[in-house]
Chains A and B, each alone.
Chain A
Amino acid sequence: MIKFSDVTKSFGSINALDKISFEVKSGEFVFLTGPSGAGKTTILKMILREMLPDSGEVLFDDVDIVKLADKEVPRLRQQMGIVFQDFKVLPERTVSENVEVALAVSSVPDNEWDSRVRHVLKLVGLDKRANLFPSQLSGGELQRVSLARALVINPKLILADEPTGNLDWKTAEGIMDLLEKINKEGKTIIMATHHEGIIKHGKHRIINLDDGCIIKN
């Protein structure tokens, strides 16, 4: 599903990624680990095509997303669900509206919204909080909103950038349980984290990065 071939990216004299190559198959759950500045987020940004490599190939379903025209980028992103460390929920919209936005962006017909939103909110345990605003939710609940928004479009791939970074251990464990459950349903998940406990939580493939190089895969 995802293939990096000799991907290099530098910011001035700093090598964010140095000729890295790896492949993620459909249905896999992969942890990108390593200290801050190792290149985890850079990899996720490249998959999202938020950032372009200096050299190398990034394939998503055999399509080189580096060569993708700008107007094709939204379509690429609509096939992915993204969960951010800082949640990135829309503060002026309710929980259900935050989830609906993802459906609107992906041009899902309006008549499907209600059932899909209800289903996904039930899945993440927020069905009773559907009409609350983000300011009325806890950190764990906000991350569940972010997860619900990622899941509602039924994406091929879920990218999670330190999704438990701002959460206490118990809440983080809850989020991890959810991600495990989603992975078991066949979704591919790539999750960047440096949280040892989280990595040990599930026995999944680990790509360990340091200084822009893969040191263990």
Chain B
Amino acid sequence: MSIHTKTAIEAIKRSPFQAISAIFVLSLTFFVATMVAILVYSSGKALSYFETRPQIISFLKDDATPEAVTSLENKLSGDMRIKDLKYVSKEEALEIYKKATSDNPLLAELVSPSIFPASLEFSVTDLKLAETIISEVKSEAIVEQVGFTANIGGEKSLSDVVSRLKTASLYLRLGGIVFVSVLAITSFLVLLVIISMRMTTRKGEVEILSLIGATPSFVRSPIILEAVIYSLVGVLTGWTFAIIFWLYASPSIIGYFGQIPVIPKDPLTFFLLFFIILAIELVAGLTISLVGSLIAVGRSLKKIR
């Protein structure tokens, strides 16, 4: 063990309450940061789910000829405002119905494909264009009816859902950033205070070391190492508590949100996401500890010299 590591560990042992407060604040910061990061990820995923799923379904008349359907399909696929166009036949519509009613097979047995209309499903590149496109598609001779696929929470159109989600996501991001920033600043200040206190208690030692030829980096190293230890332990503790929470809560969350992929269902992706967050937090933690300790040590050394 290097003399700097030994000095840093001894300093932590000598002042356990300072160490506990630093680690506690840093753990809280990184626990909240992990939670916010996952919530931001989830809101982004939910938003993207609603934005990318087929938004408009144009139900076709039963007497629509295959030629007329192909002609309309070609027309729509050539339209730059439309994306993800898909033809759903009567048989496919029945399959979708069967899947949706899989918990009650009797319902599916009672119907035949003929009662389901064929349809053309598509999304729009910009939801603002939806109303215009709907009225254009409605005027097509083979189109019986046009509707939205989502009608969540009583919204009249999908644009309402998406716009509500966008607003919620924006507030979540802003709130999260503000909250995490406040906590990060608090952690930074706590580290600054603790390192300054450490420098004050080590004033005599620093003077002696300086007189026997210690370089500023020799004097700084154990103090910075101490701050780095606090931040690493803080990041790992906060992150571990957060991952335990999500591991515990994920079955209920996945069950509640169903098709909406708010958190990854695949364990590999789930852990990859958490490890990416950990890596970012380690960088952030190291930055906080390095900047905080360098400022505190710099100020104290100036006073001592």
User: Real complex partners, A and B?
Assistant: yes
Contacts from A to B (Cβ < 8 Å):
48, 50, 71, 74-80, 82, 88-90, 92, 100-102, 104-106, 149
Q: What are some 30 contacts across the A-B interface (CB < 8 A)? A: A50-B211, A71-B215, A74-B213, A74-B214, A74-B215, A75-B213, A76-B213, A77-B213, A78-B213, A82-B211, A82-B212, A88-B207, A88-B208, A88-B211, A90-B205, A92-B10, A92-B205, A101-B3, A101-B209, A101-B212, A102-B212, A104-B3, A104-B218, A105-B212, A105-B213, A105-B214, A105-B215, A105-B218, A106-B213, A149-B212
Determine the residue in chain B with the shortest Cβ distance to A77.
B213
Give the residues in chain A near B214, CB-CB below 8 Å.
74, 105
A71-B215, A92-B10 given; 9 more Cβ-contact pairs under 8 Å = A48-B211, A50-B211, A74-B216, A75-B213, A76-B213, A77-B212, A78-B213, A100-B3, A105-B209
Give the complex CA separation of A75 and B205 in angstroms: 19
Give the complex CA separation of A89 and B10 in angstroms: 17
Give the complex CA separation of A48 and B218 in angstroms: 18
Determine the residue in chain A with the shortest Cβ distance to B4.
A104
Give the complex CA separation of A120 and B218 in angstroms: 23
Give the residues in chain B near A88, CB-CB below 8 Å.
207-208, 211
Contacting residues of chain B (142-179) with chain A, CB-CB under 8 angstroms: none
Give the complex CA separation of A76 and B211 in angstroms: 10
Give the complex CA separation of A193 and B14 in angstroms: 38
Give the residues in chain B near A74, CB-CB below 8 Å.
210, 213-216, 218
Determine the residue in chain B with the shortest Cβ distance to A87.
B208
Shortest CB-to-CB span from B168 to chain A, Å, is 55
Shortest CB-to-CB span from B66 to chain A, Å, is 84
Shortest CB-to-CB span from B211 to chain A, Å, is 6
Shortest CB-to-CB span from B43 to chain A, Å, is 51
Shortest CB-to-CB span from B298 to chain A, Å, is 14
Give the residues in chain B near A104, CB-CB below 8 Å.
3, 218
Give the residues in chain B near A149, CB-CB below 8 Å.
212
Give the residues in chain B near A75, CB-CB below 8 Å.
213
Give the residues in chain A near B216, CB-CB below 8 Å.
74
Give the complex CA separation of A125 and B205 in angstroms: 25
Contacting residues of chain B (205-258) with chain A, CB-CB under 8 angstroms: 205, 207-216, 218
Determine the residue in chain B with the shortest Cβ distance to A79.
B213
Give the complex CA separation of A104 and B205 in angstroms: 14
Give the residues in chain A near B207, CB-CB below 8 Å.
88
Give the residues in chain A near B210, CB-CB below 8 Å.
74
Give the residues in chain B near A106, CB-CB below 8 Å.
213
Shortest CB-to-CB span from B188 to chain A, Å, is 28
Shortest CB-to-CB span from B54 to chain A, Å, is 68
Give the complex CA separation of A100 and B4 in angstroms: 12
Give the complex CA separation of A102 and B207 in angstroms: 13
Give the complex CA separation of A216 and B207 in angstroms: 33
0/1 interface trace, chain B 41-64, chain A, CB 8 Å (1 if under): 000000000000000000000000
Determine the residue in chain B with the shortest Cβ distance to A102.
B212
